[in-house]
Amino acid sequence: MGHKMGICQHSLSVGLFASLLLVDAAPALGGLMVSTIGTPFRIDFDAFRGRGLMPNPMASQLDSNHWRISGLSDGPGRFGGTHDSGDFARGPSSGGVTTGGVYGFNVASSGEPNWTLGFQPIGSDLTPGAATLMVTNATGAVVDRLELDYDIWLLNNGDRSSSIRFAYSMDDENYETLDRLSIATALEADTNAGWEAVGRATVLSALNLAEGSSIFLQWWMDDVGGRGSRDEWSLDQIEMTWGDSPVSTVPEPSSWMLLAFLCPATLWHRRRNVVRSTNASTLKPVTRAIRKKMLAAVEPITLEQ
Ligand SMILES: [Ca+2]
Ligand SMILES: [Ca+2]
Ligand SMILES: [Ca+2]
Ligand SMILES: [Ca+2]
């Protein structure tokens, strides 16, 4: 995405990092440790309630050693930082908010709630802005690829269009945006706006990511056009699977995602061993889950009719 956005923060200085360790033995700024090759990991935000980011988070918060939110008028987010008020912590909501910042949005219209990592951009917040997830290779081996999919929820209740794009980086400085994953919200607000989900999937390959090294996954947003208030959106169901070799041309479970990607009309049913987070950042094993995903739209889309 480059630095014209001005939203990519550099790591803490070595000196500050050292002093933090001396003061309270905070966890290392090591990112989210994903230790198994071939096993999907999921972040579902189901305990997140928009209470901000902390290095030792409560369940209702994100772990700032894993996540960084940039582009808020209350100041730059940073990995390992304490951001538990104001723009960073707008709390739980079902949407239809007006104050700019980061929310825990419940996007379910009825029944069981579905909590997500939500954003309300305004003129002074998140235009542009970004959520960046640091994922660290803790497998003990070099990993070559990362299979990734996630859901974006959109609430088209403002007469502007916003873009939500995905980029990744191996150094948190040089980001590559994958345009085919881009989403733009519709310009004109819906009459009775409701949350709508869009799924996205990709395979990041040729990573050559050494043990202990990190990859940075970034969802960034900005205005597209229109006037008045801006739409709301949120991120959910991030699933990641490390791979240690190039994807084979022979069909096998680990390359189903790529095959689905190449066959965009495929309605994809897949049984997976899913490791999920009980809070937004801690990964724990759960039983098998069936995941159904429509991968019909791999091109940039807009929900504008
Ligand atoms: Ca969720
Ligand atoms: Ca603000
Ligand atoms: Ca709003
Ligand atoms: Ca709109």
Structural contact between residues 193 and 157, judged by C-beta atoms closer than 8 angstroms: yes
Q: Which of 21-30, 80-89, 91-100 has the lowest mean pLDDT?
A: 21-30
Closest Cα partner for 183 from 302, 276, 89, 103? Answer: 302
Query: What local confidence, expressed as pLDDT, does residue 273 receive?
Result: 39
Q: Which of 169-183, 214-228, 261-275 has the lowest mean pLDDT?
A: 261-275
What is the 237 CA–ligand 4 centroid distance (Å)?
23
Q: What percent of the chain has pLDDT over 70?
A: 70
Ranking 39-43, 93-97, 251-255 by mean pLDDT, the lowest is 251-255
Examine the pLDDT at 266 and tell me if it is beyond 50: no
- Residue 138, pLDDT score: 93
Residue 101 CA to ligand 4 center (angstroms) comes to: 17
Report how far ligand 4's centroid is from the alpha carbon of 161 (Å).
Answer: 5
Distance (Å) from CA 72 to ligand 2 centroid: 5
Q: What is the mean pLDDT of the segment spanning 164-191?
A: 97
Domain residue ranges in the chain = 30-302
d(CA 200, CA 294): 9
- Exposed/middle/buried for 296, CB within 10 Å: 0-12, 13-18, 19+? middle
